[in-house]
A and B are shown apart, each in its own frame.
Chain A
Amino acid sequence: GAGVSQSPRYKVTKRGQDVALRCDPISGHVSLYWYRQALGQGPEFLTYFNYEAQQDKSGLPNDRFSAERPEGSISTLTIQRTEQRDSAMYRCASSLDTGGPLDTQYFGPGTRLTVL
């Protein structure tokens, strides 16, 4: 596609519910990243995929957070048993290459998650 797309754009859920956030990267992009951005802050790294392999998940805050990219394209970030502190903008980014120094990430519009 023309750019990175994410769905839903807005998600309101009740505490304790599970949510799944979807990212569709730019066609042909090998690398896919998930970030969380709190209001007034910069994006905070969550996890990274190279094709379908999750190569870095060091930023996932706890075991309620998981992500997959089964066919090396679309990715899903799942948050189980949501808590109010999970409320944030969740951003996906993709890049052409394997994450080296020349590799520019292009961001999707984000999903604004609100946990009531």
Chain B
Amino acid sequence: AQKITQTQPGMFVQEKEAVTLDCTYDTSDPSYGLFWYKQPSSGEMIFLIYQGSYDQQNATEGRYSLNFQKARKSANLVISASQLGDSAMYFCAMREGPSGGYQKVTFGIGTKLQVIP
């Protein structure tokens, strides 16, 4: 089974609207972390937001929030008030494994977001 599933190859959103990018994950480890990265056309990988499996509240970073539904194993990224500069590829990632030591990170295949003026 895929560890990280991003089912939306491409998404469009109107400028200033909110958009949700889906991510589901698969793990049997109780301790894990979920990440979202942004990759603009320039190719860099920009860290956006992190959610730990034991965090009680959804993570937020400015216009980014992570809708963490543990029972459903989903970690959707919500971008509020979309801007043209948000057009990019977005990757969901998970790190898992025994706590207290090294954990491998697995990335999804990404969702390409295009913001329309």
Chain A residues engaging chain B, CB cutoff 8 angstroms: 31, 33, 40-45, 48, 50, 55-56, 89, 91, 93, 98-107, 109-110, 112
Contacts and interface: CB of A to CB of B under 8 A. Distances in A.
Interface residues of B, number: 30
B47 A98 contact: no
A69 to B, nearest CB: 14
Contacts, number: 73
Interface in B8-47: 31-33, 35, 37, 43-47
Interface of B: 4, 31-33, 35, 37, 43-47, 50, 52-53, 91, 93, 95-96, 99-110
Interface majority SS on B: helix, strand, loop or mixed? strand
A56 B106 CA distance: 14
B105 A105 contact: yes
B43 A45 contact: no
Nearest to A9: B43
A102 B45 contact: no
A56 B102 contact: yes
B103 A101 contact: yes
B103 A100 contact: yes
Given A41-B110, A42-B108, A50-B102, A101 B43 contact: no
B100, B102, B103: most-surrounded residue (chain A CB, <10 A): B102
Given A41-B110, A42-B110, A99 B45 contact: no
Contacts of A99: 95, 101-103
